[in-house]
Chains A and B, each alone.
Chain A
Amino acid sequence: MNQLLKQAISTLIRMVLLLVGVSMVTFLLVISSPIDPIDAYVGAESNVSQEQRDNIAEYWGLNNPPVERYFTWLSNLIKGDMGTSISYQKPVTEILGSRFLASLTLMAVAWLLSGIFGFLLGVMSGAMQGSIFDKCVKALCFVLSSTPTFWIGLLFLMLFSVVLGWFPIGLSVPIGKLSSEVTLLERVHHLILPAFTLSITGISGIALHTRQKIIDVLKMDYVLFAKARGESKWTLIRRHGLRNIAIPAITLQFASISELFGGSVLAENVFSYPGLGSAASAAGLKGDVPLLLGIALCSVLFVFAGNLIANLLYGILNPQIREGGKLG
């Protein structure tokens, strides 16, 4: 029990350090980026007088030294105030709150899709190494992993929404419909294309790794022995293969959460999906420090949680690691 507590505390400390570190780096990057927040706010070439520009800078505290600005932000954060977004003119917590759920749904679905499809494709093509199917999967994975998400998104949009008309052209709800009338089915319908787009890049990574792993496993002595006992290929994979490739697949799947977050920025923009990703790009383009910091913290927590779950799952799935933990 004591051990568990210790571990929990050390995890917590690491998380806090990570949050502080990331917020500092993000802050530094934003303030040294060549974006003038006043320009972004009033429009680059508006006829707003220099006097009013000074007023704006003072109002938003843009003239204070960076260190002071950072610590003001930090001390407000500790009090639970994440500041006000310059570009949306709303409290950051409000923006994050309204967008987090949308992003979470999108990413969760995409994450599941990429995990399942990737794993299945990987196992199958690994088992049938050298076959036409394997070659096709491999080629597809190489193409997909080298394709940018937004391009896939545009392609899907053209094909499925414009040409075939199966899916809506964007948004998370039907055009012009009051929210009280929007059904769950409609929400799901709007989620499919962005989620599928987002899962695409994840699929190739998981599939290629799983494929390689299963090929390795199939070369093992115990597999040879099992073959000798007369086990068929698929029984063999089920009994010896899946279990051995589960751990790397799970690690990879949880590690891909960070990539997922990156991908969501692009996918959400293409599909006008109102999540954190589209807010992040807006904040970045407008030099909106409080909002960008808020989103950065959110994503850190997200990725950190992903890695933590992967660590915990190791222990559950693999007794060797669990034992190791006890010894240490």
Chain B
Amino acid sequence: MRKRITLLFILATLSLSALTGCMGNSNNNEETVTPAPESSSSISQDSLVISIGSEFADGNFDPCTGSGTLGYDLFHTSLLKITTEVKTECDLATDYKVSEDGLIYTFTLRGDVKFSDGQSLTPEDVVFTFNTAKVSGSSVDLTMLEKAEVTQGNKVQFTLNKAYSPFTRTVALLGIVPEHAYNDTYASNPVGTGPFKVKQLDVGQQLIVEPNEYYYGTQSQFKQITFLSIDEETALAAAKSGQLDLVMVNPEYAKETVNGMHIVNIKTSDNRGFNLPTAPETVNSAGETVGNNVTSDPIVRKALNIGISRKEIIDNALNGIGTASWVRFEGLPWANEEPGLKDGQVEEAKALLEEAGWIDTDGDGIREKNGLKCEFRITGRTDDLQRYNLAVALSENAKPLGINIIAEALDWSTCKQIGRNVPTCIGTGDYSFIDVYNAFHSSFAGADVVNLSNSAMYRNPTVDGYLDAMLAATSEDEAIELCKKAQYDGTTGANVDFPYLWLVNIDHTYFVRDGLDLGTQRIHPHGHGAPVIQNLNEWTLTN
């Protein structure tokens, strides 16, 4: 009996003391900590606090396992770099040569580069980087690389197993790591040749970086920059708290206002559109239905492309934020806008359909041809509301044309699985023109292929010819020219065959502190809003 009472008493005291303890602390803090948030970024001008997604606080900065492949590595630089015009130019290399057959790339290294630990960059480091990345089982795709070796002191030679002109892009997007400092913990403790180095990493919370004093380019004006990992839903609240200098937000919030900050919308090459299978329905060897009897009619594809209003779709699905676009590579050097396209031509689209025999005979608002209704399903992945919204908006927009599009939301795996039969909302757009090949080459058009490459099953021998020549090209200019021809060469190409229905390029939206200048931003690639830090070392803050 007594024991129990004692125990209860102890429990009660413990809990009470814990309670008062906590209360006491909170009271103390109200007085001592409140002024801190205001002062943290507005008084001291030599530091920045930004929030652009959670990836930076994960502590994976190893280029060999895929960090930086989207072109915004803070800690590393590459042999080549991608300019603001999305061309490549030399960075760690002083020049490079490509052999006639396109199989051998020889880079000459700069001699004056040091890693952030003060040690000099050697050609062995470059070879080590490529060899490590090749076997890392990661998103660094070096399947075209046969071998990398050091030749003549400061030269590195890459031998490819096939001609692959976008190799320059592969090189530009792979940061060089030091062989001497590469170990198991490298991912969270990188030692690179880039403009910044890690000062502290609190995994899952924040990354603090400081300038790398050995960097050979522009030194940052700031002594310290902190990347916060903040949930997307709370990002706006974070912006309003006044503690941050730049916050990435959902474009829906673009109409909000935050004291002391302004909205910056940055254009991207991150497009959204639907594949329109160009082959009629068949069953592949896995027993799956591929192809689509309605979209395989080129007239239907053309009518859709010219008949819908992209602006209306953006207004309805994306609150009007985004850039209407009918080409896949909008904003990139290899985009070809020829022969031009004006959308919203409802009457012309209708006439095209009528002429091709798509006529609404039973008065239900949907056209038919030979007993086939002009009707098909499209999907938007469930984990991305924007895409489903686009699917619904497109469906509404196609109704006046007499084309019935049934929009559905499905999980991404299923969307992909049935994508060669049921068009799905896709998004692409990065800094490598291999995307052009993947979009249109007939080697991906087969009924048994199950990835997103050429999910429109598009076949055009002329286009294939340009794309094959593009891979074999020995200069970027030549390759980009061929990429453009594959889209339209004056008579044929994807721009007049319409294997896809492109709608919009997404904008990246940020709240930025007044006075903070983000420099000249290269068009952002597909992905989240993190690419804004591509030129972090050039940002300036003035009051």
A residues apposed to B, CB below 8 Å: 34-36, 39, 41-53, 55-56, 58-60, 87-90, 98-99, 109, 112-113, 115-116, 150, 154, 157-158, 161-162, 165-176, 178-179, 185-186, 188-189, 192, 242-243, 246, 269-274, 278-279, 282, 316-317
Contacts and interface: CB of A to CB of B under 8 A. Distances in A.
B22 A192 contact: yes
A176 B413 contact: no
Interface stretch (B30-38, B116-124, B393-401, B498-506): B30-38
A154 B363 CA distance: 51
Contacts of A35: 412-413
Nearest to A269: B231
Given A89-B62, A161-B241, A165-B241, A178 B208 contact: yes
Contact of A186 (B33, B49, B136, B208): B33
Contacts of B15: 112, 115-116
Nearest to B141: A52
B237 A46 contact: no
B451 A53 contact: yes
Given A45-B428, A47-B428, A316-B7, 10 more contacts: A35-B412, A47-B141, A90-B187, A162-B241, A166-B34, A170-B205, A170-B230, A173-B202, A175-B243, A272-B230
Contacts of B199: 178
B205 A274 contact: yes
Interface of B: 4, 7-8, 15-16, 18-19, 22, 25-26, 28-30, 32-34, 36-38, 40, 47, 49, 54, 58-60, 62, 65-66, 69, 136-139, 141-143, 187, 199-200, 202-206, 208, 224, 226, 228-231, 233-234, 237-238, 240-241, 243, 411-414, 416, 426-428, 430, 432, 434-435, 438, 451-453, 526-527
Contacts of A272: 54, 204-205, 228-231, 234
Contact of B143 (A47, A51, A109, A279): A51
6 contacts: A36-B413, A52-B143, A165-B241, A176-B40, A176-B226, A188-B29
Contacts of B416: 36
A168 B37 contact: yes
Contact of A246 (B8, B22, B29, B224): B8
Interface of B is mostly: mixed
Contacts of A55: 137, 143
Contacts, number: 190
Contact of B206 (A48, A87, A176, A317): A176
Nearest to A119: B15
Interface of A is mostly: helix
B65 A98 contact: no
A88 B237 CA distance: 27
A243 B9 CA distance: 11
Contacts of A56: 137-139
Contacts of B38: 165
Nearest to A42: B139
A262 to B, nearest CB: 17
Contacts of B226: 175-176
B230 A179 contact: no
A263 to B, nearest CB: 15
Contacts of A271: 234
Contact of B526 (A41, A45, A165, A188): A45
Contacts of B142: 52
Nearest to B427: A45
Find the residue from A89, A112, A167, A171 having the highest chain B CB count within 10 A. Answer: A89
A44 B416 CA distance: 10
B403 to A, nearest CB: 26
A42 B34 contact: no
A197 to B, nearest CB: 12
Contacts of B432: 47
A173 B416 CA distance: 41
Contacts of B37: 165, 168
Contacts of A112: 15, 18-19
Contacts of B202: 171-173, 179, 274
A109 B203 contact: no
B237 A60 contact: no
Contacts of A158: 237
B412 A47 contact: no
B205 A88 contact: no
Find the residue from A45, A109, A157 having the highest chain B CB count within 10 A. Answer: A45
B301 to A, nearest CB: 21
Find the residue from A56, A58, A282, A316 having the highest chain B CB count within 10 A. Answer: A56
A3 B268 CA distance: 70
B61 to A, nearest CB: 11
B411 A34 contact: yes
Nearest to A184: B25
A115 to B, nearest CB: 7
Nearest to B66: A42
A94 to B, nearest CB: 10
B224 A192 contact: no
Contacts of A150: 233
Given A41-B139, A47-B435, A55-B143, A169 B22 contact: no
B205 A172 contact: yes
A47 B434 contact: yes
A43 B139 contact: yes
A92 B468 CA distance: 44
Contacts of B527: 43
A270 B428 CA distance: 30
A198 to B, nearest CB: 13
B138 A41 contact: yes
Contacts of B30: 166
Given A98-B203, A274-B203, A89 B240 contact: no
Contacts of A270: 231, 233-234
A316 B4 CA distance: 8
A272 B205 CA distance: 6
B205 A154 contact: no
A120 to B, nearest CB: 9
Contacts of A273: 205
B60 A89 contact: yes
